[in-house]
Every structure is written in C-alpha cells, then in structure tokens.
Amino acid sequence: MEIKDRVALITGTRRIGSVVAVELARRGANVVLSYNRSRDEAEAAASEVRALGRRALSVQADVSKAAEVQGLVRRVVDEFGRIDILVNMASIYRFKPFAETTEQDWNANMDINLKSAFLCAQGVVPVMKANGGGRIINFADWIAASGRPRYKGFLPYYVSKAGIVGLTECLALELASDQILVNAIAPGPILAPPDLTEDEDREVRRATPLGRWGGEIEIAKAVASLIDTDFITGECIRVDGGRHVH
C-alpha cells in the first residue's frame, strides 16, 4: 500500500508514537493522533505533521472503552472520509511483584494493552472494507514474541502482550479476504527509560548483540514497511537489535 495521501490513526502517541506519526507524515500520510492523557505530546506531534504539509488531528479518547472508540472512528471519518491505517500503540508497562498484583492491575493491562487493540480494529474494519482494504499494526513486546518470560514482576503485562500476538494472527485470518493486512511489531531496547541507571544501561547494551538502543525511528521504519507490504500478514516482527538471540 502506498502511504502517500492515506489516513493513519495512531493510538498512544507519547514518545515513540509521536515519532511514528511524524515519520508517516514525512512519507505523505495524513495523521490522527489519539491520546488519553498526553494532550501536549499529541498536539506537538500534530503541529510537526502540519509543518510537513500534511493534515493532522488530535483526539482525546479512552480506547479501552467501546463507546469512545466508536466516537473516535466517527470523528476521523467525518474529518477525513476514510481510515486506511490503524497503529495500535496504546499501552502501559508497570513493574509489580506477583504477590502484590491486584485485580485492578490485571484489568488495566488487559484493557489498555489488549482490549483496546481489539476494539479499535473492530471500529475501523468497516471503514477499511468500504475503501477496499487497509493495514492494522499492533504492538507486542520482544519477550512475549519470543514465547518465554524473562523478567519477574510483569505478569499481566506479559500475558496481555502475548494476547496481542494471538489477536494479530486471528485478525489476519479473519480479514485477509477483505485485503486488510494485520501484523505486529515487538519492540526491544528502543528508548532508554528516563530513570535508568548507568549500570542498567550498560547491561542492556551488553545483552543486545548490536550493542546499542535502537531509537524511536527504528519503530517508525518498521511501521512504514508493514504498511508498504502487500503480502505479509499475521506476522509479529521483533525490532530488538538481536536481543532475542542473545
């Protein structure tokens, strides 16, 4: 699929999501940035998109709620007339020991990391069908994509991201006849957390065969490649500098 003049809806536009939005605009897309609390980041990214000569819209929505997703889709269609690309990036990532993990923790991970991707896909598919096809790109995690947990304290997060892999495969099968290709990206060491210590930073670099953090642009390039392809669907691609083979 050609990216130029397509309409991309991106959920979760903090940090990496904003870079993805700007890169797609640089390649010719018009972009909708959906945010829950990060209004300033979404507006800043929208301004960058407009500076590139593309159209942009930022919309507040809790994408873990069906009614708000439906409202978001209506708003995009009213404004742009179509949705060609959905990038499901809304996510939370929090450490908590298993013994302290609550029902609320479990529900938050499942709702934001997994259910939101299902709801957004369900919302945009009729619009994509009407326009002859589309692309859906979900976000898993390199550990979940590798099929074996490595770190304690992230149980609901890991399960939700493993669910994204399954959702991606099932959606790819369900939607193939409508020319809607569904894939997932599983990021590894892309962007160092702001509170990372020097020792922790060195350990990540040591454990990554390429010896460095990837940077947000590597995710944006992966998203663009999965939009461009016309024959890859149902895949989960690790963007982790070889971390999974270490």
**pLDDT, tens digit (0-9, with 9 covering 90-100), for 30-64:** 999 999 988 999 999 999 999 999 999 999 999 99
Active site residues: 157
Four-residue CA torsion sign, 58, 63, 66, 67: negative
- Model confidence at 136, pLDDT cuts 50, 70, 90, reads very high
Angle at 158 between CA 208 and CA 228, to 5 degrees: 65
> For residue 25, which of 69, 89, 85 has the smallest C-alpha distance?
85
| Spatial distance between the Cα atoms of 201 and 108, rounded to a whole number of angstroms | 28
What is the pLDDT at residue 195?
86
CATH of domain 7-245: 3.40.50.720
Q: Which two tokens stand for residue 85?
A: 């690309």
Question: What is the number of helices (H) and of strands (E) in the chain?
Answer: 9, 7
Whole-Å CA distances, 180 to 25, 124, 125, 233: 21, 11, 8, 9
What is the pLDDT at residue 13?
84
> For residue 33, which of 3, 4, 63, 53 has the smallest C-alpha distance?
63
Q: If phi over 0 gives left and psi between -120 and 50 gives alpha, with beta otherwise, what is residue 219? A: alpha
Average pLDDT over residues 203-211: 96
State pTM to two decimals. 0.97
| Spatial distance between the Cα atoms of 133 and 177, rounded to a whole number of angstroms | 9
Whole-Å CA distances, 150 to 80, 175, 196: 43, 33, 19
In this structure, which amino acid lies at residue 124? V
**pLDDT, tens digit (0-9, with 9 covering 90-100), for 170-205:** 999 999 999 999 999 999 999 998 889 999 999 999
